[in-house]
Structure 1
Amino acid sequence: MTTMMLNWPEWQGGMNPDYQMGNRVLRAIVPEILDALQVNVPVSPDANKKSGIDGGVQLANQQQFARDALVKNKPQRVITLGGDCAVSEVPFDYLNGRYPDDFGVIWLDAHPDISTISDTHHLHEMVVADLLHASNSEFAQQVQNPLRPAQVFFAGLTVAALRPMDQLVRDMGLATATPQQLRQGHPIQDWLVAHAIRHVALHFDLDVLDPDDFRSILPAKPHFDRAQFGAAIGSMTLDQVIALLTNVSHQADLVGLSIAEHMPWDALNLHRGLNQLPIFNGGRQS
């Protein structure tokens, strides 16, 4: 068995239950892999705080389920469909252990997700810090194959908008490229060569995309004033991202791909509207 697909509608990492609908729609979108092992991670409807992390009880249980499935089946490649960004923590840890000599992570995101337990109580904002053993969180202690700073590249990052909670990017000297730098040169390809990286896991947070180009992300909420978003908004187009993924796949073996934070507003709003109709509630008013 070479490929495992983890279907993981996790929402507690960002405390947003709508990510569950995002996963359901995403599963219908991604190409089918006939010989892949499909693993559905059971996700609880509850969110109980643990060790300073919202939903920490459920997040720990869900991570352990995914970790056990990976250890048991030992796939060569892992595709993970989120859910929030924290779904990359376990598969990337596993893949770093499987390819210990030439493995790297490309984090394609407008935000670095590298906060510490002192900065946030949301797991999806500290997943990279966990993987680097730099978050001081209980979840970092479960990472068995921590990354070195040289193994991480932040692509599409809005560096000028880094917040105090993002400062580990600079403090640890991590490689970065803004959307403009990605358009003008080949920083990822140069990084792969410089560090002799032959196996790559890529985290694709859909928030790296421009909400005018791709409308199924948080800041693309209909009638929302984006000036009130409170964080960096992506500016890449889907065509640019697909070209980036294609180029990486030609230069290295793409052994991990996570797609996270899909927010299909039209599907969500239609679902909520229809749910108000008695015909969907056994004739009862909802």
Structure 2
Amino acid sequence: MKNKTLRLLLPQWQGGNNADYYFGAELLAHIVPQSEKTKMIRVPVNADLDQELPIEHGIEGESQLMEQLDAATKILEAEQPDKVIVLGGDCSISQAPFDYLNGRYDGKLGVLWLDAHPDVATIEDSTRDHEMVLGNLLGRGAPQFADKVKNIIQAKNVFFAGLIYDELRPRDQEVNRLNLRYAVPKQLKENSQSILQWVQENDIQHLAVHFDLDVLSPQDFRSIYPAEPYLEGFGAAVGELTLKEVTRILTDVSQEADIVGLSIAEHMPWDAMNLRNALSKISIFND
């Protein structure tokens, strides 16, 4: 019987409190390879992009994020897919699908986190859920979101690829406290061996990949936050991998484990967004 794959369009922006993630997800849905065989479901997301998000129990936009998390979870439980592709949105889009998939595969899911940042902050360190999402999945992070996780992911089943380890901030120190495995960009320039070794050592047969596009170098890929035109200083670690290297990594790991989940996050198509904003000011588009 053929595996059932579900696509979720989840233009969630509240986790990073940045409305640009909404349009980035919408455009991403058109960019990814299309398939008439795969069902696409749009998760309802609050589209009042001009609102100011209140801090609720330490989290910006907590109530909206909770509603959207519950909506995504209900869709997954109703559809019961074998594989999930998530098109987002800020990094918090990965919580519901990775939790679901870990349950689907009896708690033996491997998680490959392609990101310049680890997303393991706690509620003491941050107010933004997209900085805590992996922490939530590990049973830490923000307690109210971690409590929603039905299938806690084991620390040994997590691997960071492309992490800028030398620039970890105080909010990122769960990486060291939990002794999470990682490979910095330099280690992945020539081959994927460190990831493949982790897959083999932990007998990982099913893999969910979180692909935060800002793991990429802004010199190689322009539709990411650090590549914003005229931006002077990003204020956080900047990715160093190329799209070609990420493609090689995912091709290599797919030969060792079945990729059952892929979430693509933080797409920032600056040229398209700036053009849209510019055109919105022209009278003919407002008649």
Q: Same fold (TM over 0.5)?
A: yes
Which residue does 1:239 correspond to in 2?
A: 244
Q: 1:168 aligns with which of 169, 174, 185?
A: 174
Partners of 1:67 and 1:102 in 2: how far apart?
19
RMSD value, Cα = 1.1
Partners of 1:222 and 1:31 in 2: how far apart?
27
Q: What TM-score do the two structures reach when normalised by structure 2? A: 0.95
**Structure 1 unmatched runs, 5+:** none
Partners of 2:131 and 2:179 in 1: how far apart?
19
Q: 1:4 aligns with which of 3, 6, 23?
A: 6
1:105-128 Cα shifts (integer Å, max 9, x gaps):
000000000000000010000001
Kindly indicate whether the alpha-carbon contact (under 8 Å) linking 2:196 and 2:253 is maintained by their aligned counterparts in 1: yes
Q: Could you tell me how far 1:206 is from its partner in structure 2?
A: 0.2
Q: Could you tell me how far 1:182 is from its partner in structure 2?
A: 1.5
2:217 maps to 1:215: no
Matched residue type, 1:3: T
1:171-196 Cα shifts (integer Å, max 9, x gaps):
00000000111124511100000000
Kindly indicate whether the alpha-carbon contact (under 8 Å) linking 1:48 and 1:57 is maintained by their aligned counterparts in 2: no
Q: What TM-score do the two structures reach when normalised by structure 1? A: 0.96
Which residue does 1:33 correspond to in 2?
A: 35
Q: Could you tell me how far 1:168 is from its partner in structure 2?
A: 0.3
Deviates further, 1-10 or 67-76: 1-10
1:238-270 Cα shifts (integer Å, max 9, x gaps):
100111111111111000000000000000100
Deviates further, 40-49 or 1-10: 40-49
Kindly indicate whether the alpha-carbon contact (under 8 Å) linking 2:188 and 2:245 is maintained by their aligned counterparts in 1: no
2:124 maps to 1:134: no
Matched residue type, 1:6: L
Which residue does 1:100 correspond to in 2?
A: 106
Kindly indicate whether the alpha-carbon contact (under 8 Å) linking 1:153 and 1:174 is maintained by their aligned counterparts in 2: yes
Divergent runs of 4+, >6 A: none
Q: 1:278 aligns with which of 276, 279, 283?
A: 283
Which residue does 1:230 correspond to in 2?
A: 235
Q: Could you tell me how far 1:49 is from its partner in structure 2?
A: 3.4
Q: 2:119 aligns with which of 113, 116, 119?
A: 113
Partners of 1:266 and 1:135 in 2: how far apart?
34
Please give the residue correspondences for 1:169-184 in structure 2 after superposition, counting only pairs within 5 Å: 169-184=175-190
Matched residue type, 2:176: R
Q: Could you tell me how far 1:102 is from its partner in structure 2?
A: 3.2
Q: Secondary structure at the match of 1:32?
A: coil
2:216 maps to 1:206: no
Q: 2:78 aligns with which of 51, 72, 78?
A: 72
Q: 1:43 aligns with which of 42, 45, 67?
A: 45
Which residue does 2:272 correspond to in 1?
A: 267
Partners of 1:183 and 1:92 in 2: how far apart?
27
Identical positions, percent? 49
**Structure 2 unmatched runs, 5+:** none
1:178-235 Cα shifts (integer Å, max 9, x gaps):
011112451110000000000000000000000011000001011222xx21100001
